[in-house]
Structures are given as C-alpha cells and as structure tokens.
Structure 1
Amino acid sequence: REDLEKSVDKNEMSFSGIDLAGLIRKKYGRSYDVQLIKKEFLGKQYLAMNVMWKYREQRSFPLSEEEYLLHLDDVANALKCWGAVSVIRSSLEKTKERPRIGKAVSLFIDMDESGGRANEWINR
C-alpha cells in the first residue's frame, strides 16, 4: 500500500469533492453536476465523467449544497481509485466544450485495453 501511495501524486490522494467543485466552477463559472458513466467508443470500453447541463445555482437543481458536495466526494473518490484525477484535471483545462441543455461534456478515462476494470466499477 505504501508503494502505491508513493506512486500516486500527493494532489491526487487529497483530491475531494470540494476540489472537484472548484475545478468545475473555475472552468465554467457554475457548479455543474457530474455523473460517471460507461461508454463504448470504437469497440473499446471507456469510463467517462460527464459534466451535466444542470447546475447548483438553478432553482430546479434537486440537491442541496451539502448533498451536491457529498455526491462530488463520491465521484472524487472513484477518480482517486482509478488514478484518473490528473486525466480529469487536464481534460477540463483543455476542453473547449461547454455543457448545454441536453448535451453533457464527456471527459473520457481509458481504464485498460479490454474495459475489464471499467466493468468492475460501473454496471449499466
């Protein structure tokens, strides 16, 4: 376990829902919801973090601030387990896409060649 922790960037180990919320807010100026999904693209399985079009500042947003941050904590923990925090940080910085009604921004996480590890985490 110690070797694993040493191999992972310290920023990844301390990554939390608040950090994820900050990245999203910095990029888009709003507190968008995120969902983890499994997608097949060109015959290969991927996990993706979708930045959804609903955001916390909307009256119709279904979560309180506390529920939203707890949800983002769950997502951040999954990203840490997958070693995908740096991929998500980089993808958020680089993408020019913005969420809009009916269109999420997908940030792909390549788990492995077969998609087997993806199947361990998300069954849909």
Structure 2
Amino acid sequence: MFSAQRSADAFQARFLSPTQPGQRGRLMPLHFQLDFQLDDVFDSIKKAQKAFDDEVWDLFQGAKERKWSPDRRPENMKGTRAGPSAESQLTWGGAQSLEMYSRMIEESENDVQTFSGTSALGSAAVTMYGEAGKLSSEEMEEELRQFRSFQAPVLGSPSRQISSAVELAELVRAKYGKYHDVAILRNTGQTAFNIYGPHLSQSSFPYTESQYLEKLNIIVAMLDDFDQAWYVKEFLLAPIVPRNGLPSTPRFDTAVTLRLNLSPTWRDVDKNKIEEWFSMPGIQSN
C-alpha cells in the first residue's frame, strides 16, 4: 500500500498541473506528457553522444596528443572549454561569421585571372609564325611559370592572401563548423596543410584561444612566404565533397589533407624558403 501511494504521488507530481491551493491537480493532456518525456529522452541522447565522442577521441587520439602535443594552457585553464568571451577575437559563429564567409566566396568567384598573348601559344606559335615564333629556353620556362600561375588569383587581389590568423580560423570554422587544429607538415616529399579533428571548444584541446591564434599566425606566415595562401583559401571556400574513401571532414582519427605540392604554383616556390621554415624549432618535418 505504501509503495502504491508513493507511485501515485510521483505520478501526480510529474504529470498533474496544480490548479488552486488546496485542490488536486488535473491530468495534463496526453500530447503534453509525451512532449515532456521526449524532451528528456533527446536530452539524454545528446549528453550520451557527447560523452561518447569525447571518450572515443581520448581513446584513439588523446594519448598521442598528450605525448606529441602536450597541453600548453595555464594550469588554471586546463580542462576548461574555450568559448566566446569579452576578450575573444573570434566570432564563434553566427551572422558575422556567415557574412564574412559569403563575402570571401564572392570575392573568389569574381577574381578570375585572364591569360592571353602569343606566349600562351607555346609550340603552336612555331606553326603559326614559323621559326620566328619559337621560344628560347628561358622564354619557355617563363611561359610554363605563367601557365602554372594561371589558376592563381591576380597579384594584389583579396583572394590571393589570408589576412590573419583570425581569418584562417574563421575559414576553417565556416567550412567544418568548429575551430579545428591545423598544421603544415612535410613528409617523404609531400608538403601538406592538415586539418585535424580536435577543436578549440573541446575541454581536452591543448591551446587557449590566444595560443591557437598564435599557432595559426605562423601557418599564415608560411603560406604567404610560399605564396600558397590562395590555394588553401580556395580549398576552404569550396564545398565539402567526398575524397576517394577518406573522410570529407576532420575526424578524431583522420585529418583532412590538402597537398600543397600539388598546387599549380608549388614549383615556383623558392626551395631555400621551404628548407628554412622546416628547419625552425616547432615546425614539423618527418
């Protein structure tokens, strides 16, 4: 009897709405009861999914990150999720971020470089103009350089460069939804711009917002020095597409990789600059 009374009281507290003092509640409509229960279920699923994602990341990537990328945050900020604050330089999404991304896409689409002149004819110039149209080896190399540069935006255009670490961070977030970790690595002849699964809003992410932007400042400087910022920017402004069996978005176990050495202008990068950058402490070269 006691158990039945407790069950009845619990039911009344959960599903009966009070009317006036001293009166018993009245039964809530069934659809309100169901909505109330479904909200609880969805809430629980979201929390469970979030906990699962964090545990999986820690299992597969966390140990590696702790070894190769130790937590650089001050002691009082370790284990704290980064987010919007009065000191934040990032937009953390919203209308401002979307407006910025849309503007850059528009600039990129409007910035079409034209390539014309007889130098573009190459060996066809010999057929049309005889031996007088034949290019010297130096002229041929210059023609090839111009042709490789054809896909790049014109010099001085906004889409040629990434203006700052904040712009790079916003480009990454606008495409993938989070401020993911990024790096430039060189390995067995390949030089790549990598976007990793870990992101700024994770409690385990090893950087504060300011440290994250300091890291991105170095990457922006490298891209500008190699004149490859346009290539990365073009990739980040393009839609997400499947990638030959690889994940099209950054995951805890697999990065999204853009090979800089496949850029049409990579051959024109000064090799000494590449060696200088990758000989610096903290710049990864395997």
| TM-score normalised by the chain length of structure 1 | 0.78
TM-superposed deviation, 1:90:
1.6
CA distance in 2, matches of 1:107, 1:46: 10
Superposed structure 1 runs of 4+ greater than 6 Å apart: none
Greater radius of gyration (CA)? 2
CA distance in 2, matches of 1:47, 1:94: 23
Matched, 1:36 2:184: yes
Q: Give the match for residue 267 of structure 2.
A: 112
Over 3 Å counting, the alpha-carbon distance change for 1:13 and 1:26 in structure 2 is closer
Task: Output one character per residue of 1:55-92: Cα deviation in whole Å (capped at 9) or x when no partner.
Answer: 00000001000000111111111111111111001222
Q: Where in structure 2 are the equivalents of 1:85-124 lying within 5 Å?
A: 85-92=229-236, 93-96=238-241, 97-110=248-261, 111-112=266-267, 116=271, 118-122=274-278, 124=285
Over 3 Å counting, the alpha-carbon distance change for 1:86 and 1:37 in structure 2 is same
CA distance in 1, matches of 2:157, 2:190: 23
The farther-off stretch of 6-15 and 45-54 is: 6-15
Residue 15 of structure 1, aligned match among 159, 163, 182: 163
CA distance in 2, matches of 1:17, 1:86: 14
CA distance in 1, matches of 2:218, 2:183: 10
TM-superposed deviation, 1:8:
4.7
CA distance in 1, matches of 2:230, 2:162: 12
For CA contacts below 8 A with separation 6 or more, give which structure has more relative contact order.
1
Find the residue that maps to 2:267 and give its secondary structure: coil
Over 3 Å counting, the alpha-carbon distance change for 1:21 and 1:50 in structure 2 is same
**CA RMSD between the two structures:** 2.5
The farther-off stretch of 61-70 and 88-97 is: 88-97
Task: Output one character per residue of 1:93-116: Cα deviation in whole Å (capped at 9) or x when no partner.
Answer: 244210011100001112328x94
TM-superposed deviation, 1:120:
4.2
Q: Are 2:183 and 2:193, in contact at CA under 8 Å, matched by a contact in 1?
A: yes
Q: Are 1:15 and 1:80, in contact at CA under 8 Å, matched by a contact in 2?
A: no
| TM-score normalised by the chain length of structure 2 | 0.36
Aligned length: 115
CA distance in 1, matches of 2:198, 2:174: 16
Find the residue that maps to 1:66 and give its secondary structure: helix
Find the residue that maps to 2:249 and give its secondary structure: coil
